[in-house]
Amino acid sequence: MTCVVTTARTAEDDIADAASYIALDSPISSQRFGEEILLCFQRIAQFPESGQRVISGSVNFRRVRVSTRFDQWLVYFRMINADTIEVVRVLHGRRDIAALLREMP
């Protein structure tokens, strides 16, 4: 089963910020980051139970790495229903992820 993947505004902002940050060193790497984010979303759509389970407050998330090239970047997502996944954050692993997830509604 393939699910529909949606992105929360926070995830869209995370992706834009990450791409801008990466582009400071390498515009080509920034473009590759965007491409690999899309591939990651396709993998999540095909395998919605993939990744590590993360519990933050009363919300269950799953976490996967963007790719082997961008393995420091983590995608946090949750099942909305049987057919829909919401990507809620895309964060670098060195950030205070627990605090950022606690801020989620």
14-35 confidence digits (pLDDT tens) = 999 999 999 999 999 999 999 9
What pLDDT band is residue 105 in, cutting at 50, 70 and 90? low
C-alpha to C-alpha distance for 1 and 104, rounded to whole angstroms: 28
Contact status, residue 39 vs residue 46, Cβ threshold 8 Å: no
Rounded to two decimals, what is the model's pTM?
Answer: 0.90
Q: What is the pLDDT of residue 58?
A: 66
CATH 3.30.2310.20 fits 4-102, yes or no: yes
C-alpha to C-alpha distance for 19 and 38, rounded to whole angstroms: 13
